Each structure stands twice: as structure tokens, then as C-alpha cells.
A and B are shown apart, each in its own frame.
Chain A
């Protein structure tokens, strides 16, 4: 009994630590990655010992971004503007971060592991309506941003908050329509079952991943997900040239860091959802529970624990790859105009999502009729 509770607690802690650390590391990836894209050098000064420089090693700016930046943010003055709603001003960043983090509870980061007589599912909480849970937490995530803008008693912040709210509820519909199509394809709302359904191969070599079945839903989910995370090209709520910094104009120090953390956690969330829905989650191509079955008939036996670890590694690699894709898009595209943003959401993604659902429904019904 106690050990079961302990296992659950360890799983929950692993998920939270994994997400928060990945979000922190993304700060480094973003700073050095943007420098790479824009042909700059980027953070390259701070060093703890100075040893690397004396030995002639290149400085990758890890100390700058992972130690100096957070230290600076958390030791700055925590400023609350006059006339601000103090309680909501303090609450808003955490209201923004909390729903994003709890969403990861339903994400399966691996298959089952057999240790002794115990079977451990590598997933913090196995809810059978997980897809609905994701939509619910994303829907609640709007409040942090909206209230952050409202409670600051600042016109720019309020405009940013209104823009963010309008944008997020508009793109939530596209996101929901994409998820409905996926749910219809797999016939389940359970993310672990979706990952299992993506095992195996077509034509002897092609992994049975969702991207082959639902390419349209993948594009919708990627677009709507990036809009949900409010980053370029969808960063209207914080457009610096128009609104100073949008909804977090009046935030400083630790609370501003929490808002930044939310953005990075949302990137990780979108990457994780894409991995689970379209790229097989923890599935490694041609790897089954008894080892690799390569196309052409070759077979390589792999111990059961190693299979689980490989799955975990594959999941992380896929997630990081999609985080990188989002950062690449952020530093490549210019910002939308507001009417373009709304047109894309309501006249582009929503009809496309509905059409995708109709086509999926027809194919699913025909497929089940033929069987």
C-alpha cells in the first residue's frame, strides 16, 4: 500500500521536475538558438571559474542563461503598480502556470514496466477521459493571462490581456476540433491507449503513427497550439512595438519569471501533445516488447527494462525535436496583424477542422462497416 503511494508520488515528481527543467533549458536553447539563426554570438560571457576560457574552450552561455538570468530575475524588486488589484496581481502568474503543469499529469511518457511482481504504468495519472482533461486545463489557462492584464491597472496590460483572451478562446476551438478528429481515429480518449494503437507497422516498414492518418489535424494542432502559447507569429498579446510587453507590462522579478516559465512550459506541452497524438508517443520504430523486428525479417532481442528505457528516450527526443521546431518557427516568421490572426482562426482553422471531422467520420464508419 505504502509502496504504491510512493510509486505514484515518484511518478508525479518526475513529471513536474522533467517539465520545469525542460522549460528552463529551453531558455538557453532560445537564446543561443536565436543567436545562431540571426548570425550573432549570443550569451557567451559569464563563467563560474573562468577555467574554460583559460583553457581556450568555447563558452556556450550556460551560466548566463541557466544560473545568472534566474538569479537576476528572482532578486529584482517585485514591483506592484499603484491602483493595481494586489491580490489578483500576485495570483495571476501562478494561475497561468498551474493549469499548464497539471496537464502533464495525463501524458504517458512510457509503456508499462515490470519490476518484480509489480506492473508500473509510466504515466502520472491514467484518466480514461484524458483528452477532455487536456481541453479543460487549457481552457482554464486563459484566466491567468486575462487577470494579469486586468489587475495591473495599465492600459497596455489590459489591451494585452484582452487580446490574449480573445486569441486563446478562438484557437481553443480549432484545437478542440483537431483533438476530436484524433479521438475519432483512435476510438479512445485515453492517451496511453492512443500510444499503444500507434505500435506496429504498415507495409512492413512504415511505423503506424498518427501523422500518416491525420496530417490535417497535425497542422491544425501545431498552429492552434502555437497560438495558445502566445509566441511569434502569434504574439499579439505581448507585441513589444505596440503594447510595451502586453499583459505582463507591469510585472517584474519573480512573477515575470513565472509568466516566462509558463510560455516555455506551454511550448513543452504542445510538443508533448504532438508527440503523443501524431508521432507514437513512446513508440520506437520497429521496437516491440520482445525487441526489434527490422523490416526484412531481422530480429534483435532486447531485455524488457531496456525496451522501457528506449521508449522513454524516444519520447524525450521527439518532444525536444518539436520544441526546437517551435523555436525555429518563432525566429523565422514575422508577427501577424490582428485581423489576420482572427481570420486564420475563425475562417481558416475552424472550417478546416470541421471538414476534417466530417471526412474522418465517413472513413471511420466505412472502415468499421467493411470489417
Chain B
């Protein structure tokens, strides 16, 4: 409960704060909290992978991008900001409504849930499932990531004289891809 509250508050912090680095840190807190929630639900492997891949690798690269693009804190509202806010508010309301409708259809907790197997969430169980039932999906994903890495390198190499920022973004996404693939 405390963790869920922390996750929601830090997620709000991600959106509301003005300084991009503070937003990013709030997002890191959110991801780490979700990792701890995973571990609390016995999905230990998934929790640690969440911490390694998202909090440990991808968010660090985001931090890099924020630094290299030299983003400043939003100081004043741009023209048309209010209209943008109104549209965003409407869309958010629609999303919340959809969530509640879905929750209404969902089976109530503690009902007819199958008992989890004893090795639920362990790394052996995860690996067995991943490399037997979902082998094809796994292989296709790895090929897709490889293609993404090659594409990112090609994009970064083609214009060596362009701004350092765009190259850094491409390299960052390539590294993020290789982290995900590893």
C-alpha cells in the first residue's frame, strides 16, 4: 500500500515538476518502486530485471540525453498552452473512465484464482517458459533489437558533421537496445 502510494506520487512528480532532471529522478523512483512491488509479489527475477534494465540502464541514458540536449526548466507557458491542457485533461478523464469500466468487468480478487506453483517467479521457471513456450517470440524479439541497433548505428554514422546531440540520441537508443537484448 505504501509502495503503491509512493509509486503514484513519484509518477505525478514525473509529470508535474518543471526541472527535467527532477522529473527524470521521479520516474526512477517510480520504476524502482514497481520493481520492489514485483519482488513483493514473488516475481523476484522480473523485479531485479526491472531495476537493472530500466532504473540502471535506460534512465541513465535518458539523463545523458537531457544533459546533452541542454534542456532548461520550463519557465513560462507557451502560447496555446491552455488549449493543450484542456485536451490533455479530457483525454485523461477518458482514460480513467475506461480503467473503471474495465475494473468493473474484472474478476474480483481472491475468487477463482489458480494457486501459483511453488517455483513461481524463480529464475528457473522463467527460463523454462521463455525458452520453450515462447521461444519463437523470444528469437524474433532479439532479431528485431539487432535490427534496431544496426539501424541506429547507420543513422548515427551517415551524418558525421551534424549536431552532436542527434548522434548522441541515436547512440543512446542503440545502447538501450543492446541492454534490453542482453
Contacts and interface: CB of A to CB of B under 8 A. Distances in A.
A and B co-occur in one complex: yes
Interface of A: 85, 88, 127-129, 132-133, 135-136, 138-140, 142-143, 146-147, 150, 158, 162, 165-166, 169, 172-173, 176, 189
A136 B182 contact: no
Contact of B60 (A127, A158, A165): A165
Given A140-B55, A140-B56, A143-B28, A132 B64 contact: no
Contacts of B49: 132
Contact of B182 (A140, A176, A189): A176
A146 B48 contact: no
A129 B32 contact: no
Contacts of A140: 32, 51, 55-56
Given A132-B48, A142-B56, A189-B123, A165 B182 contact: no
A134 to B, nearest CB: 9
Contacts of B21: 85, 88, 147, 150
Nearest to A189: B123
B122 interface: yes
B45 interface: yes
Contact of A133 (B48, B63, B64, B179): B48
B67 interface: yes
26 contacts: A85-B21, A88-B21, A88-B25, A128-B122, A128-B123, A129-B48, A129-B122, A132-B49, A132-B123, A133-B48, A136-B51, A136-B52, A136-B56, A139-B56, A140-B55, A140-B56, A143-B28, A146-B60, A146-B63, A147-B21, A147-B25, A162-B64, A162-B67, A166-B64, A169-B61, A173-B182
B156 interface: no
A135 B45 contact: no
A146 B44 CA distance: 28
A66 to B, nearest CB: 34
A69 B123 CA distance: 46
Interface in B1-45: 19, 21, 25, 28, 32, 35, 44-45
Contacts of B123: 128-129, 132, 189
B57 interface: yes
Which of the listed residues B49, B56, B179 has the most CB atoms from chain A within 10 Å of its own CB? Answer: B56
Nearest to B54: A139
The 4 closest A-B pairs by CB, nearest first: A139-B56, A136-B51, A132-B48, A136-B52
Contact of A129 (B45, B55, B64, B175): B45
A214 B83 CA distance: 62
Given A139-B56, A162-B67, A165-B64, 9 more contacts: A88-B21, A128-B44, A136-B35, A136-B48, A139-B60, A143-B60, A146-B60, A169-B61, A189-B123
